[in-house]
Chain A
């Protein structure tokens, strides 16, 4: 085989997870911001900005899981077994968040506050444990005889917990800038103000993770700070600072409602690429590479044909759906 299938699949999975982080990131962000927006009418508008698209956004998570299952079955089994509890908590969070979209509008008025809390609590739980899983994953999964050997609570460590909080900041900023783009008047103004604060928080988070990771993991430090890598990767932190500055400026000024969201996407992408660089080429850090964990080439090849044909179509009709629901969401726009 002349084609490096594991490499192509690693790129597809990275792309799928990236799509997930960005898209479900702003949906989850809506739930994270609920505590700051008490008015029911505003909450209705917030939910309606994502109601038509959230389900498609979440599907990227399933694609990430399925892609890992196909391309790197060993990694899929090892990672999902090692992070059993945080992943189950994440799923429970996603359940409460997901059903709230329907139930909140179907429940009798007296029960509505409960589903509001379900939406908020589910969003916080899902985001936090996604971050915890990511942090624990970055710290590495010890393997023995092809099986993950991690204790049930190995994820209960400072770094994973910090990444969990960090991801809350990232998704909240995505949610806030999404709402700047999709809403008007007071609600939009509130989101601009929140966004300004969240930008600082996210910068702090990125900074801490960028220092913490190389300090605790020499292999990562070597990857970043050896010559000539240092030269290649130096634009990443610089771009982060430039994006953050532009983001704060666009949030502070009226108009350009879509600019903050696009800049936040840029920030998230830069942070994500930094994580990718730190991990590459391992699919189970610190020991197993994508080539060692790859499934049978017959499986990777068969699925790749479908992925290359269908993913562009998915992007096409997803974009169309966003296009159909473009523009500001107002209070009188509702279900049907």
Chain B
């Protein structure tokens, strides 16, 4: 373990990790939500045979495919980053994190990738039942993937079930490792966040079309399903978030103190809730604090004047940066409350079907489109920065985890990633928005098995609608595909 590294290389390696993981997590979050949504849409189509569900399935499938492609390539970078930039961590903690990541590959990545082809390209080649199985498998894959990666991250936050032998972590009890204290809360919190982010995207897409005067059954169904999801999940997420906060209070007191901007307890005095302020690490206080008396005690100890540790109770070297997590946490919670408000307002507008003309609400919903993604990123910043200065909480410091690269080398690769990501994912986002802007094709999908010849829209789908279904140059007419 070399602590002689310059802070620059460490800082750049952390920045590189933060940058690549932030870009990456957006896509899995959307694919977790969209895969489940697609499975629901296909199930509804199979049950009711209402065309609108198939149209919506094909529409969101295109969005899913682009998001999934970007998730795959950015995820590949993550799989190798632990070794390239964090060799100290890999050598020391690989005994626990390696198997968890490998199980993710074995049980999730292959499942998603293996059935994705059939889901995207196979509707004409397999029966409806098998196609539905493929869609469900893809959705299962996304959820299993979340489970393993959250198990690994949760173990880094609240490690247990291991021993340290010859300077390396050795797993002793896998059940303890996987079902560590924070795992259930984090997993549920993240999956709900993915569902919220997706629902907000679906509602915002519908709102955009309604505002543009495109009002048909597909758009209305999207809006209703999206708001229905928000009504279910937004309040639930607040409840789960509260439980997760109590769990953090129990297992990571320094993180909690930092995100509350709470420095010290005076004997017998309750802890206020600081709404806003500027935590100052040097001065060891939160400046300009706007506080509500006793609320901190009530929320976190469930008693009128209970106390929880302040930052001053931890050595300076063990304190996470309060300024960052104080604000990232408030951003997340604030957006969460806005989502609950949006769900309630939307549910109320659904009475009497006024919602489709409620322009003010639709504009609000459109503005809230990215809120789920932003809140999720803010949440990850809170939990990861709040874990510092540890990479494995209380066991290994981040400074000991980094590879011995020069700052120049890490800086160079970081620059490469920033340029490549900005360009590639910028283009990808534009294409995503363009697909969404075109909206679901009404009666886009032919029922299975056309007369004599399977008809299916060709790529490119971005072409004008009238380009669909024209045979390509040199295509063989009238040849049914073998089954």
Contacts and interface: CB of A to CB of B under 8 A. Distances in A.
Contact of B76 (A56, A58, A185, A318): A58
A103 B168 CA distance: 44
Contact of A51 (B66, B101, B110, B121): B121
Nearest to A79: B83
B252 interface: no
Mostly, the B contact residues are: helix
Given A84-B413, A102-B66, A298-B172, A41 B473 contact: yes
A251 to B, nearest CB: 23
A330 B476 contact: yes
B427 interface: yes
B117 A53 contact: yes
A86 B264 CA distance: 50
Highest count of chain A CB atoms <10 Å: which of B88, B103, B123: B103
B91 A146 contact: yes
B120 A303 contact: no
A336 B98 contact: no
B170 A334 contact: no
Nearest to A186: B474
Contacts of A70: 94, 98-99, 101-102
Interface stretch (B315-323, B342-350, B371-379, B400-408): B400-408
Contacts of B44: none
A139 B349 CA distance: 69
A80 B473 CA distance: 47
Interface stretch (A25-33, A93-101, A155-163, A167-175): A93-101
Given A105-B462, A295-B94, A303 B457 contact: no
B390 interface: no
A67 interface: yes
Interface centre among B88, B116, B457 (most CB of A within 10 A): B116
Given A62-B79, A296-B170, A336-B456, A81 B118 contact: no
B65 interface: yes
Given A62-B76, A102-B65, A106-B66, A334 B95 contact: no
A331 B428 contact: no
Contact of A331 (B62, B114, B475): B475
Contacts of A96: 420, 424
B343 to A, nearest CB: 32
Give the contact-size bracket for chain A.
Answer: 35 or more
A324 B434 CA distance: 31
B94 A69 contact: yes
B98 A73 contact: yes
Contact of B84 (A56, A88, A185, A303): A88
Nearest to A112: B460
A330 to B, nearest CB: 6
A324 B91 contact: no
B435 A55 contact: no
A306 B114 contact: no
A14 interface: no
Secondary structure of the A contact surface, majority rule = helix
A43 to B, nearest CB: 11
A8 to B, nearest CB: 14
Interface string A282-297: 0000000000000110
Contacts of A318: 110, 114
A69 B474 CA distance: 49
A99 B98 contact: no
A289 B14 CA distance: 32
Contacts of B58: 336
A77 B66 contact: no
A314 B116 CA distance: 13
A270 B94 CA distance: 32
Given A59-B109, A66-B98, A95 B405 contact: no
Given A55-B116, A296-B170, A310-B107, A99 B69 contact: yes
Contact of A44 (B69, B82, B428, B459): B459
Nearest to B419: A92
B179 to A, nearest CB: 14
A106 B461 CA distance: 6
A205 interface: no
A295 to B, nearest CB: 5
Contacts, number: 274
B100 to A, nearest CB: 9
B393 to A, nearest CB: 20
Interface string A31-67: 0000000000100100010011101101101110111
A302 interface: yes
A325 B111 CA distance: 17
A229 interface: no
A182 to B, nearest CB: 14
A210 interface: no
B482 interface: yes
Interface string B56-68: 0010001001101
A295 B105 CA distance: 19
B59 to A, nearest CB: 12
Given A106-B431, A330-B475, A52 B120 contact: yes
Contact of B110 (A108, A303, A314): A314
A94 B77 CA distance: 9
Nearest to B66: A102
Nearest to B409: A152
A81 B114 CA distance: 31
Given A51-B121, A73-B95, A106-B66, A81 B424 contact: no
Contacts of A74: 91
B53 to A, nearest CB: 16
A227 interface: no
Between A44, A58, A95, A317, the greatest number of chain B beta carbons within 10 A of the residue's beta carbon is seen for A95
Contact of B165 (A81, A146, A147, A296): A296
Contact of A303 (B69, B87, B98): B98
Contacts of A52: 116-118, 120-122
A72 to B, nearest CB: 9
Contacts of B126: 324
A299 B98 CA distance: 8
Contact of A94 (B73, B99, B106, B474): B73
A106 B457 CA distance: 13
Interface in B192-251: none
A330 B122 CA distance: 15
B463 interface: yes
Interface string B116-137: 1110111111100000000000
Interface in A99-132: 99, 101-109, 112
A259 interface: no
Contacts of A67: 102
Most buried by A among B62, B90, B165, B405: B90
17 contacts: A51-B120, A53-B117, A73-B91, A73-B98, A80-B90, A88-B84, A98-B72, A102-B65, A106-B66, A106-B460, A152-B409, A295-B98, A296-B170, A298-B172, A310-B106, A330-B476, A336-B123
Given A55-B116, A105-B462, A152-B406, 17 more contacts: A51-B117, A52-B118, A55-B68, A59-B110, A59-B113, A65-B83, A66-B101, A73-B94, A77-B91, A84-B405, A105-B459, A109-B460, A298-B171, A299-B95, A330-B479, A334-B458, A335-B121
The 6 closest A-B pairs by CB, nearest first: A80-B83, A52-B117, A73-B94, A77-B87, A334-B458, A332-B475
